[in-house]
Structure 1
Amino acid sequence: MMFRKTLYIFLLIMLSYTSLISMTIVVTINPYYLILKDMVKDRARILLLIEPGKNPHLYSPTIEDVKNLMKGDLIVANGLNLETFISPELSKLKKKGLNVLYLSDFIPRGELMGEKDRPNPHIWMDPVFLYRYIVPAILKELKRIDPKNSDFYERNAIDLIERLKKFDRFCREKMEKMKCKSILTAHPSLVYFARRYGIKVTSLFSGHGKQVTVKETMNVIRSIRKGEICAIFSEKGINSKAMEVIASETGLEIGTLDPLGCEANGILELFEKNLKELIRFGG
C-alpha cells in the first residue's frame, strides 16, 4: 500500500514537471546552451548537439544528431561557417519549415571581424553582442513559438542582460589595468572580446586542420623576444605542441582559454573564467 502511494506521488510530480515543458530546443554549441538554460529554465527541454570539448569546426553529425535535430521546435545555431559539417542538415531542415535560428544573422555586418567573405564566427565571446543582439533575438523567437510563457522568458532575459552589462563594466575596469596588452592565442576565438576590451591578439592557428610552419613559429618567438607579445594562451581542444615550443624558447608560461565553456555552469561563468585566466597571465 505504501509503495503504491509513493509511486502515485512520484508519477504526479513527474506529470507536473512534464506539463511545464513547452518545447524542445536544440542548440549546436555549449555557449548557447548556457544562455538558453538561463532563459527557459524548466519551461523547455534543451538538447546540446556538440558536447563541450569537441571542435564545432570539425564536428561531423551522427545519425543520432540528425534525429535530435528533427525533434527541435527550435534549433539555435551560430552560423558564419562555425558548424561546417552540420550546415547542410540545418539548411535541409529550414527548407522543410523547421525553426532554425542563426544568431550571427542578428550581428550587423559592419561589426563582424575577419575576411569579408569569411567573417570570424566567435561572436558569443563579446558580452555586448550577447546583451545587445543575441539574447534579444532568442527572446523574440521564444515568445513567437511559445507565447503562453512570454512573460517568463522576458523576465529571465532582462535578468541575464543586466548581469551581462554588469560583467561588461567589471571587465572594462579589469582589462584597463592589465599590463599586457598584446597576447598570442592558439586560435582566433578571442578576437571580438579582445577588440571590445582593448587587447591586440595574434593567433597561432588561422584555421582548423592547418599546421603551423617552422617559419611562423620562429616569427612569433622573435616577436616575443622583442617585447611585441607578452602573454601566450593555448585553448581547450586545440593542439598545444607548437605553443609548448614557443613557451620553452621564450620562458613564458602558457595560460589556457576556454571559449566553449567546457567547465562553466553558466554564460557568465564562461566569461569570468576566461577573464581570470587573462589577468593571471597578462598581469
Structure 2
Amino acid sequence: MKPIIAIIFLILLITSSLFALNIITTINPYYLLLKEITAETDNVTLLIEPGQNPHIYSPNVEDIRKLSSTDLIVANGFELESFLTEKLDWLERSGKRVIFVSSYVDKVLRSSSDSTPNEDHINPHIWLGISLLTKYIIPGLTKDLMKIEPSKANLYTENAEKLIDNLKEIYKNLSEYFLPFAGKKILMSHPSFYYFFRDFGIGTVSLFEGHGDEPTISELKDIIKAAKSGEYIAAFGEYQQNNKSIEIVVREAGIAKSELDPLGIGRKDFKDFLNWNITRIMEVINVH
C-alpha cells in the first residue's frame, strides 16, 4: 500500500472508531462553542433559534421528542429557559445527560459581591462574560465532554485551548480600548451584556430584567433625567427584546444608541458572534 494511501486509510480508521455524540444545546452561543470544541466530530443541533427570546420560549411536542432522544443536552440554567426548566429537570432525574452551564459559575458568582442585587436571582447571561468563558465555561464543557467520550479527549482539549486563546486575545485588546471608559455607565434595554461590560469596569443600568416588567412612566422620567445629565455614555437595545422604552429615552435624551445581539443571529462561529457585537459597541461609544 502506497504511503499516502496508508495515511488516509489510517485517518479514516481512527475517525470511524470515534463515537459521535448527539448533542442539543438550548441556545445558539453554546451551539457555536460546541461546534468548535468538537470540531463537528459530534452532531450538535440547536433547539431555540437565535431570533427567539429564550426567556419566553415554550417547547412543542417535537422539541420534547428531540430532547428525549439525544445523548446530551446543554442548557444555560439560572432560569434562562424558564419554560423548559421543569422538563429538563425531569429528563435529568430520568437518567438523561443534562449539563447546566450555570453549574460551572454558580459558586463564583454567588460569592461575588457585585454579581447580582438579588442572591435568589443571578443574571443568567453568563456566555457574554469573556472571563467567565475562559476560566470556567469552556474548561467545564471540555471536561464534561471528555468524561462522556474520553476517546476524543485530545481533540476536545486542543480545540478548547485554541478557542480560549482567541478569546483571551480579544479580552486583551478590549481591556486597552475600554480603559478610558472604566467607571462609566451604559444604558441597556435588558441586562444581557452585564458580564461583558463588567469585565472592563463599565457599569450597566437595565430598563427591565425579564419579560413584561418594563419601566413605569415615573421610572422612565427618572432615567431620561439621568441620561440628559450625562450619566450614560451610550444606550443599547437588543434584537430579541421590546426596545420601545429605550427608544423613548434615546429620543428624549439624545444619547447614542445601537442594537446588540446576545444570541448571534447568522453568526458563523463564536468569535464572529462576539466581534459583531463589539463592532456595534465601538461604533456607538466612539460617538461619545
TM-score in terms of structure 1 length: 0.89
2:170 corresponds to 1:167: yes
Paired with 2:30 and 2:216, the residues of 1 have a C-alpha distance of 34
Equivalent residue number for residue 246 of structure 1: 249
The corresponding residue for 1:8 is: none
Q: Which residue of 1 aligns with 2:206?
A: 203
Question: What does residue 48 of structure 2 align with?
Answer: 50
Q: Structure 2: 5+ residue runs without aligned partners?
A: 1-13
Is the 1:232–1:254 Cα contact (8 Å) retained in structure 2? yes
Q: Which residue number corresponds to residue 143 of structure 1?
A: 146
SS at match of 2:259: strand
What amino acid sits opposite 1:71 in the alignment?
S
Shift of 1:254: 2.1
For 1:40-65, what per-residue CA distance to the aligned partner results, in whole angstroms no more than 9, with x for missing partners? 12211111111001111110011111
Give the ranges of 4+ consecutive aligned residues of structure 1 lying more than 4 Å apart after TM superposition: 16-21
Instruction: Please tell me the root mean square deviation across aligned C-alpha atoms, in Å.
Output: 2.0
SS in 1 for 2:23: strand
Give the deviation of 1:243 after TM superposition.
Answer: 1.7
Instruction: State the Cα deviation string for residues 148-177 of structure 1 (Å, max 9, x = none).
Output: 111111111111111111111111111114
Preserved CA contact (<8 Å) 1:21 1:45: no
- The answer on whether the counterparts of 1:47 and 1:68 sit within 8 Å (CA) in structure 2 is no
Q: Distance in 1 between matches of 2:97 and 2:56?
A: 24
Query: Residue 183 of structure 1: SS of its match in structure 2?
Result: strand
Provide the residue aligned with 2:277 in structure 1.
274
**Partner SS state of residue 42, structure 1:** coil
Partner residue, 2:111: 110
SS in 2 for 1:41: coil
Note the alpha carbon deviations across 1:234-259, whole angstroms, 9 max, x for none.
11111112222212212223211111
Range with greater deviation from structure 2 (176-185 or 270-279): 176-185
How many Å apart are 1:209 and its aligned residue?
1.7
Paired residue type of 2:280: E
- CA distance 1:114–1:125, change in 2 (3 Å): farther
CA drift of 1:19 comes to: 7.3
Check 1:157–1:179 CA distance in 2 against 1; reply closer, same or farther (3 A cut). Answer: closer
Whole-angstrom CA distance in 1 between matches of 2:53 and 2:275: 22
Q: Among the aligned pairs, what percent are the same residue?
A: 38
Residue 255 of structure 1: which of 252, 255, 258 is its match?
258
Question: Gapped runs of 5+ residues in structure 1?
Answer: 1-15
1:68 paired residue among 66, 69, 75: 66
Question: Which of residues 235, 239, 242 in structure 1 aligns to 2:238?
Answer: 235
**Larger CA deviation: 227-236 vs 259-268:** 259-268
Asked if the contact 1:135–1:157 (Cα under 8 Å) also holds between the matched residues in 2, the reply is: yes
| Secondary structure at 1:192 match in 2 | helix
Q: Cα distance, 1:20 vs. partner?
A: 6.1
Pairing partner for 2:216 from 204, 213, 228: 213
